[in-house]
């Protein structure tokens, strides 16, 4: 659907927007990411990506921002995950180990450790309606949540088991770690937000471990962290 050059440009724009939360202009993206063409060429390609629905502009004179469609392409075809450092894996397991005989405490420690490592809001649910959360204050680090209506809607979402289950269950089961972005969440005010989650099965307990934040999350580090949290819950909670 789009050319290799447009893919590389889109990757640079998404990477920069994740870092800065500021609309990205052609001059800065060409210079900062050492693109092998002029800012004028970048502007033309950005105009085409805008027409195709991969970019949006907040104001006429501003740069461009990625759309949920761009993030979906990024997740499915462009992004390369980072490996969790071994020391981080060991530290996470050490934090969970003392709670392996009390499942709710195990889940609580899992989401607390996950949140502390990725600096986002984390949560876990179980099949009997239990929810535990950690790091909710982290959403306020992102300007998307400085809008009180967005913050209120997001906090309500991660406190409502039935809403979370509806989102988890309707998502395509194409990957072990799944993501719903913006309008895919299906709730007003969540257009610039995302949920990243994966199911777990530990003994007779099942549920999801998830991260909630802005659409411009560091998916390359968050996805492997969630995956490892799931593996710890399943390993340490297998007797339940």
Give the mean model confidence (pLDDT) for residues 217-238: 95
What pTM does this model have? 0.92
Give the mean model confidence (pLDDT) for residues 79-96: 95
pLDDT of residue 111: 98
Pick the more confident residue, 61 or 53. 53
Give the mean model confidence (pLDDT) for residues 19-28: 92
Per residue in 202-221, pLDDT (tens digit) is 989 999 999 999 999 999 99
CB 160 within 8 A of CB 125: no
Compute CA distances 191 → 1, 149, 160, 210, whole Å.
24, 12, 18, 18
Per residue in 26-49, pLDDT (tens digit) is 999 999 998 989 999 999 999 999
Q: Largest Cα–Cα distance of the chain, in whole Å? A: 61
- Give the model's confidence band at 61: pLDDT under 50 very low, under 70 low, under 90 confident, else very high: low
Q: What is the dihedral of CA 66, 70, 71, 73, to 10 degrees?
A: -160
Q: Which has the closest alpha carbon to 48: 29, 27, 70?
A: 70
Burial of 130 (0-12, 13-18, 19+ CB in 10 A): middle
- Take residue 85 and report the two structure tokens written for it: 């450092």
User: Which residue has tokens 């390369």?
Assistant: 80
Give the mean model confidence (pLDDT) for residues 75-95: 94
């Amino acid at each position: 659907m789009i050319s290799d050059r447009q893919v590389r440009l889109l990757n640079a724009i998404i990477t920069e927007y994740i870092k800065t939360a500021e609309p990205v202009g052609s001059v800065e993206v060409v210079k900062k990411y050492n693109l092998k063409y002029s800012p004028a060429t970048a502007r033309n390609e950005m105009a085409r990506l805008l027409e195709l629905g991969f970019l949006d502009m907040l104001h006429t004179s501003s740069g461009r921002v990625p759309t949920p469609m761009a993030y979906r392409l990024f997740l499915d075809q462009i992004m390369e995950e980072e490996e969790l450092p071994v020391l981080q894996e060991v530290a996470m397991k050490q934090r969970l180990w003392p709670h392996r005989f009390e499942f709710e405490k195990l889940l609580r420690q899992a989401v607390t450790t996950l949140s502390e490592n990725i600096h986002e809001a984390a949560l876990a649910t179980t099949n009997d309606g239990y929810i535990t959360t950690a790091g909710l204050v982290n959403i306020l680090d992102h300007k998307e949540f400085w809008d009180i209506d967005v913050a209120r809607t997001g906090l309500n979402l991660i406190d409502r088991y039935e809403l979370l289950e509806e989102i988890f269950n309707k998502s395509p089961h194409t990957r072990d770690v799944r993501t719903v972005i913006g309008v895919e969440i299906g709730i007003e005010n969540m257009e610039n937000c995302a949920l990243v989650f994966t199911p777990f099965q530990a003994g007779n307990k099942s549920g999801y471990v998830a991260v909630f934040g802005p659409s411009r999350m560091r998916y390359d580090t968050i996805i492997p962290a969630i995956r490892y949290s799931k593996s710890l819950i399943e390993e340490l909670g297998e007797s339940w």
